[in-house]
Amino acid sequence: MLQTLSASAMSAKPTAFHHLLATLAHDGRLLRLYSQNIDGIDTAMEPLRTEVPLPKKAPWPKTIQLHGCIRKMVCLKCYRVSNFRVELFNGPIQPSCADCEDNNNFRIKAGKRSHGVGNLRPRMVLYNGQNPDDEAIGSVITSDLRARPDAIIVAGTTLRVPGARRIVKEMCRLVRDQVDGVTIWISKEAAPKGKDLENCWDLVVRGSCDEVAQYAAMRRWDQELEHSKTKHGNAKVRSVSFESVKVPKRKQRQLLLSPVSPKIPQKVTGSKRRIPRVSTGSDTHKVGKAVGKRQVQIPQSIIDIVNKALG
């Protein structure tokens, strides 16, 4: 199973939504990405990079992996973290830690008693196990709450994991306390019910994150500038841009993205809870709806809302 998981993670390409996140981060508009993904596709992108183990104190990386990652492995004895090597996990026996073996051999040669050798395992959280980064994650959350972000997008998750659900609850509550705060749910799944998440969302989009990202049509963070050589050998810089994308002129707001990958784009004006725009569906592409009685048609309404969220 590990081999399959690892192989699919390493071969997977970032989706439109991953790129949208990376662009937001690259532009300084993303305060934090809290990811439930263990494939590391997001953190493999430079703007969304993380650190393993997660530092206990600031500065923290852009992405916080709530459940670890298949791309790293850890020794259960000496806790050394290293890149995951799938070839070590090709049998029924857990692989041994080479560092522990070296240290142990050294001790034995020196006439000291053996301290034993630890086993390696992927550094990810299985079956609600404990995350070794829990304490650090708690510190990041506290810090981010103090930063009072004014937008949160929760995307591609079911929030069945209690810890993730608690994070979302706290952050949504804080964001909605802001005058212009906006909370957005994007998922093929319905927003979870429950008293803790009651009146939690300003906007609910039932649809694919990647589809929303495509509507957003933000420029790609890694294609902003394309360098090419002229025939004279001089570096030539060519801008690759989408006309629909505007660089915000005023102070940019920061977004908090929660579980999995969210998206969103463009500019904004206006205030909070008036968000959704009513429209009749000339477009059959109805992937979004506003909370309450208001109905929103994709794409323009979503883009407007996203604009609002991003200030």
Binding site residues, Zn ion, CB under 5 A: 75, 77-78, 97, 99-100, 118
At 276, is the secondary structure helix, strand, or coil? coil
CA distances from 98 to 68, 75, 101, 123 (A): 22, 9, 5, 16
Q: Catalytic: 18?
A: no
Contact 183, 256 (CB under 8 A): no
User: Minimum CB separation from Zn ion for residue 283, in Å?
Assistant: 57
Residue matched to tokens 């071969």: 11
The Cα 258–Cα 38 span in angstroms is 14
Q: Which is nearer to Zn ion, 95 or 192 (CB)?
A: 95
CB burial of 15-32 (b: ≥16 within 10 Å; e: otherwise) equals: bbbbbbbbbbbbbebbbb
3-class SS of residue 146: helix
Is the Cβ of residue 26 or residue 77 nearer to Zn ion in the bound state? Answer: 77
Given the complex with Zn ion, which of 88 and 161 has the nearer CB atom? Answer: 88
**From 18, 19, 67, 115, the catalytic residue:** 67
Nearer to Zn ion, 97 or 264 (CB): 97
The DSSP-derived string for 103-118 is: HHHHHHHTTPPP---P
Least distance between Zn ion and beta carbon 3 (Å): 22
For residues 71 and 63, what is the distance between their CA atoms, to the nearest angstrom?
15
Whole-number Å distance between alpha carbons of 50 and 60: 8
Task: Dig out the tokens for 143 from the structure.
Answer: 């810090």
* Closest approach of Zn ion to the CB of residue 74, in Å: 9
SS3 assignment, position 93: coil
Q: Would you tell me how many other CB atoms lie within 10 Å of the CB of residue 232?
A: 6
Query: Closest CB to Zn ion among 5 and 98?
Result: 98
Q: Measure Cα distances from 188 to 204, 205, 275 in Å.
A: 10, 8, 21
Q: Whole-number minimum distance, CB 79 to Zn ion, in Å? A: 7
Nearer to Zn ion, 77 or 176 (CB): 77
CB of 101 to Zn ion, least distance (A): 8
CB of 66 to Zn ion, least distance (A): 25
Task: State how far the Cα of 72 lies from the Cα of 76, in Å rounded to an integer.
Answer: 13
Report, as residue numbers or ranges, the catalytic residues.
67
